Structure formats: structure tokens, C-alpha cells
Amino acid sequence: MTYEKKYRALIPLPDRISVPNVKVRCPFHQDDTASLSINLDKGIWHCFGCGKSGNYRQFKEALVNGINCLVKKDIIEEKEKEKIEDEKTVIEDSVVNTFHERLLVIPSVLQWLRDKRGLPIEVVKQFKLGHDGKRITIPIPDEVGRWVNIRRYMPNSTVTQEKMLSYKPGTGKAALFPITNILRNKVVLLLEGEMDCLLGNWVGFNAVTVTGGAGTWRNSWNPLFADKVVYICYDRDIAGMEGSHKIALQLSHYAKDVFIIDLPLTEPKGADFTDYIVGHGHTKVDFQNLMDSALKFQVITTRPKEIEATIHDVHLSQASHKRYAYRRIRTRVMVVGKVLPPYVIPSKVKVVCQMGKAKCDECPLAEAKGEKELVIEKDDPAILDLLDITTRQLNDILKRVLGIPDGCKSMQLDIKDHYNVEMLLVAPEIDFTIEDSEYLVRAFYSVGHGVQSNRTYLLTGVSLPDPKTQHSTTLLYQVEPSQASIDRFRDGLEDSNTLDETRQLLAVFQIASCVQLADKVLKVHKNMGKKGRKNVHKKRIKMR
């Protein structure tokens, strides 16, 4: 567990820890029930007593500098919160109340909300829904109850009309609604859109939505979901599916568990939570059954975290077999050609960042105080990702490997050293000691420089799929000159038994002084017989 040693240096932890989540007494308030939960794999923490939460760096600073550097029921530090508050345009209560009172005297709209969206008068009053004369209004509060936006919904909107608008310029910043459902509950249901969210709350779930659409998500929200169980149920369309997976991937590093619910609906197209409850007449129990049967979201990696140390000696024809994928192999080959010029890729990279932005708390550079060095080993499969790409793509891959959040423009990459990578065309070494051998050509990538064509080598590397084509290849990290098979054959003749046996075999070709050379060749050919001539044909080289 990555953070066990770090947290143990700050506070008392249990002597034996077998699971990543541990509960201890919170040092930030009088705690007699061990209400502080720490995830020692991810470094994040949350106290269910005082409501404070954050990452390891925030925890350490709170102990050293005092509790005031944490915001109750929020993970944003005070200076960041003040900056965000300056950007908010707070809407007066009178505006919300005026819209709300207007809706209460429009029976047709109230009936539409009840019949089409499943929202009775109780929901209208609880969330202060209103009407501005043209659209249904949904006021959005922040974590302390101030109105920071009013979402304006157009029922039965046309192609030329926006279905949802914000109140006015300066109020359209994406927010979580209602954010209190996240702060107060351990299980959260993420739905797409304010109307679905309102229905989810009325049905009986701790429903939350993002005021910005299926593809909107802010990294600064992630720690709010620390140690929570999150269910995501977005619309059954491309935007909904992509958005749900994007959010699940983000939250998988923070939440206790993440589940994606696939609504079992084929109609209407792009069906949503309201279609399931109102349109198809399902109940809370029905949807709870979907939650209970939902599959846990898991991050799937296409390559193992570690390559085993065992080296397998194989013939070149076996190197591409699936049994050796992501394994180390060693094979003897003839280099028949090289694709020039060689690649030049980074081997050592230093990244520097000034930090200071809201999303920086989730960046690995935070704990490294804004500086980190990446050393790429010669057997790292990521090397293949760095070939045949543009400089921009190279920078994006390096940022991904370093764990830097998408969209960060504050960091600077400084490439300290490089590798050469040569693409070698290799064939099996011609082996005079094997009767039946197959000729083929493979393309391998060698980290280094100076391999010569038409020479034999002993190659050691990792068998991998090419990330761009998925063709089998091998990333070579060790290339040694090899003794040719004809030399090994000559060395074998030094053995007296082998030498005598070889002389007997070659005696058939000896010519007596009275015999013409042509006559001797014809005699040898005749003695070989039909079976022998077939064996000769078997020796023909096969090309692949």
C-alpha cells in the first residue's frame, strides 16, 4: 500500500493492515469512534465525523499548519475557495422566489411536470422550481446554499431552441446539483440532466447531476467522492455512454466502488431514467434491482504491470506465438537488413510545474513539489508507443505516463537523454546442424545502435504486440554477436568421435585415381535413390 508508510509517520495506524481502507481517530476534532477513513492505496481520506477530506498533502499540511487550511465538507483549500467565490455571480433570493411563485399559478406547466416528468408539487416546492415566462427554472445552489445559477428548461424544445440555458453570462459554470447529496451520503446516483435528477430524488435515491451535459466533468470534483459508492446511469446514446465511462474512469481512483447501469430499454432512442420510471412504469424497487445487478467498473489495461524475469529460449518462428506475449525471449538470428534511419526517443525526462491551480491537488506532481523525473527502461513496452508519432503526440504520451491530468498546460517537459531505436529485419540463422529448418523474416525493434547487417546475433527482448498494428514484434534490450552455426560445426569436429563419423560419411565422395569425376557424381546420385532425392527437395528454402 503506497501511502501506509507516509501516514504511519503522521498518525497512529493499526499494527497489521491487510486492506487498503483503514479507520482511525480523526486528529482534527474530538473523535471517540474512529470516524476517519484513509485509503492507503490512493492516499485520500475522509472523516465522517467532521466532514473534512482531501489527499495526503492536504492532510500533512493540516497537521503542520493547523486545521484552518481545510474547508469543512469540501476538499478545496481556503485560497482556492476564495478564488472560486470571486468568480461566482450570486443570484438574489428574490429572483428565485419570484420565478417559483409564478410557476405555482400555472396549472398547465405543473400538470406537464407531473404527467411527463413524474414531478409532483412536492418536488416543485422542495427544489423551488419556477417559471420565467418562457421556460421552467431550476435554481442551482452551491455547498453553502447560495444560488449560483438558474437553469432554464424548455419543454418540447425544437431544433432551433436550446433545451437548457443558464440564467445569464457568468452563471454558466458547470456545477454538481444538488451538491449536498454528495456531502451527506455514502451512496450516490449520477444521472444525466436536471430533470432526471429531480425525478431520481423524488423516487428515493441520492441523485446528483452535472449542470453541463454528459461530457462535462471537472477533476476538482473527484475527491468529493472519496470512499463513496457511485452508480452512473446516463442516457442510452453515444454521448451518454462515452460520458459515463469518462466519469467512471475518473472516479475509480477515488470512490470505493463505481458501477455503470445500462437501462434495459430499446425505445425510445436515447432512453433515460425518466423513460424507465415514467414512460415504462417501473418503480424504485425495479431500479434498485438494476443497481444491485450492475457490474463494477474496472480499469482494463492491455498489458501487464510487470514483465516476468524468466527468459525463454526460442526459435525465431516461435517468437510470435501467443504463449510468449509479454514475456522475455532469447533467439539466435541473422540480421538481413535495417530500416534507416533509427528513431530517437526520450530515455530520461524531467517535468517541472509551478502548481497552484485547483486541479493540481490530483496531480502526482503535488507530492513531488512540482518536480519529477521519468526514466524509461530499455525493456519498457511504452517505448513502442513513442515510435512513428509527432512531437505533440510524444508530449501527450509522456504526460499520460507521468499521470499528469488532461488539459494541463502549466507543466514543462525537459528531455535529459535519449535512446536510439533501430528496426531490424531478422531471419533464422542458417543452421547446418538441423535437417529441417524454416526461413522467415521478422521485424524487431532494438534499443541501441550499431547492429550490422549480414551478421548473426543472440537477441534478448520482450515479445509484444505493436501498439499501432497489433502485429507481433519484439522489443530488444540486449544484442550480442553470435557464433555462426558453421563455426559451431567446425568446433564440433574437434571431438574425435564426431571427426571419425564425419570422415565415414564423406568417404562416399572420395574419387579413386582411375575414376572420372563425372562418373563418380552419377554413381553418388544413383546410390541416393528416390528417397534420398526427396530429402534433397525438402531442403529447399521456404519463404514467408
pLDDT tens per residue, range 361-393:
666 676 666 777 888 899 999 899 899 888 888
* Average pLDDT estimate for 137-145: 91
- Report the distance separating Cα 224 and Cα 179, nearest Å: 9
The segment(s) of the chain belonging to CATH 3.90.580 are 4-85
Q: Say if residue 358's pLDDT is above 80.
A: no
- Report the distance separating Cα 320 and Cα 463, nearest Å: 7
* Average pLDDT estimate for 100-123: 96
The segment(s) of the chain belonging to CATH 3.40.1360.10 are 93-293
- Report the distance separating Cα 442 and Cα 339, nearest Å: 12
Among 271-285, 323-337, 347-361, the minimum mean pLDDT is found in 347-361
- Report the distance separating Cα 82 and Cα 301, nearest Å: 39
Residues linked to residue 329 through DSSP beta bridges, in sequence order = 312, 461
**pLDDT tens track for 172-205:** 788 999 999 998 899 999 999 999 999 999 999 9
**pLDDT tens track for 144-160:** 889 999 999 998 776 55
- Report the distance separating Cα 290 and Cα 35, nearest Å: 31
- Report the distance separating Cα 53 and Cα 182, nearest Å: 13
pLDDT score, position 409? 72
How far is residue 484 from each of residues 167, 432, 452, 480, 488, measured CA to CA in Å?
79, 10, 14, 12, 6
**pLDDT tens track for 320-336:** 999 999 999 999 999 99
SS3 content of the chain, % helix, strand, coil (to 5): 35, 25, 40
Q: How long, in residues, is the chain?
A: 544
Instruction: Say if residues 66 and 198 touch (Cβ distance below 8 Å).
Output: no
Question: What's the N-to-C CA distance of the chain in angstroms?
Answer: 49
* Average pLDDT estimate for 126-137: 95
Give the H or E element holding residue 141: strand 136-141
pLDDT score, position 345? 94
pLDDT score, position 399? 80
* Average pLDDT estimate for 386-408: 80
Preceding omega of 341 cis (within 30 degrees of 0): yes
Return the CATH number of the domain spanning residue range 93-293.
3.40.1360.10
Percentage of the chain lying above the pLDDT 90 cut = 38
What sign for the dihedral angle of Cα 406, 407, 412, 415? Answer: positive
- Report the distance separating Cα 191 and Cα 260, nearest Å: 11
DSSP per-residue letters across 390-417: -HHHHHHHHHHHHTPPTT--S-EEEEEE
pLDDT score, position 79? 38
> Residue 180 has which C-alpha cell?
449536498
Contacts of 3 by beta carbon, 8 Å cutoff, 6+ apart: 38, 39, 40, 41, 42, 43, 56
Query: Rounded to an integer, what is the distance from CA 139 to the centroid of its chain?
Result: 36
- Report the distance separating Cα 346 and Cα 434, nearest Å: 42
**pLDDT tens track for 456-502:** 999 999 999 988 888 899 999 999 998 654 555 555 555 555 556 66
Give the H or E element holding residue 102: helix 93-103
272 half-sphere exposure, CB direction, 13 A CA radius: 20
> Residue 183 has which C-alpha cell?
456531502
* Nearest in space to 185 (alpha carbons), one of 205, 203, 199, 202: 205
> Residue 5 has which C-alpha cell?
508508510
- Report the distance separating Cα 489 and Cα 432, nearest Å: 7
Q: Cell 422566489: give the residue.
A: 97
How far is residue 173 from each of residues 87, 96, 150, 221, 399, measured CA to CA in Å?
9, 18, 11, 13, 27
Preceding omega of 342 cis (within 30 degrees of 0): no
In terms of Cβ atoms closer than 10 Å to its own Cβ (0-12, 13-18, 19+), residue 467 is: middle
pLDDT score, position 329? 96
> Residue 482 has which C-alpha cell?
553470435
What DSSP state is assigned to residue 111?
Answer: H
pLDDT score, position 51? 72
The torsion defined by the Cα of 86, 88, 94 and 96, in degrees rounded to 10, comes to -160
Residues linked to residue 22 through DSSP beta bridges, in sequence order = 38
How far is residue 369 from each of residues 38, 57, 352, 363, 372, measured CA to CA in Å?
22, 10, 9, 10, 8
Return the CATH number of the domain spanning residue range 4-85.
3.90.580
Q: Average model confidence (pLDDT) for the chain? A: 80
> Residue 282 has which C-alpha cell?
417501473
- Report the distance separating Cα 132 and Cα 74, nearest Å: 32
Q: Cell 455514502: give the residue.
A: 186
- Report the distance separating Cα 419 and Cα 377, nearest Å: 10
> Residue 317 has which C-alpha cell?
518462428
- Report the distance separating Cα 262 and Cα 232, nearest Å: 9
The segment(s) of the chain belonging to CATH 2.40.50.140 are 311-481
Q: Domain 311-481, CATH 2.40.50.140 — does that match?
A: yes
- Report the distance separating Cα 521 and Cα 470, nearest Å: 51
pLDDT score, position 361? 60
Q: Say if residue 6's pLDDT is above 80.
A: yes
- pLDDT band of 313, cuts 50, 70, 90: very high
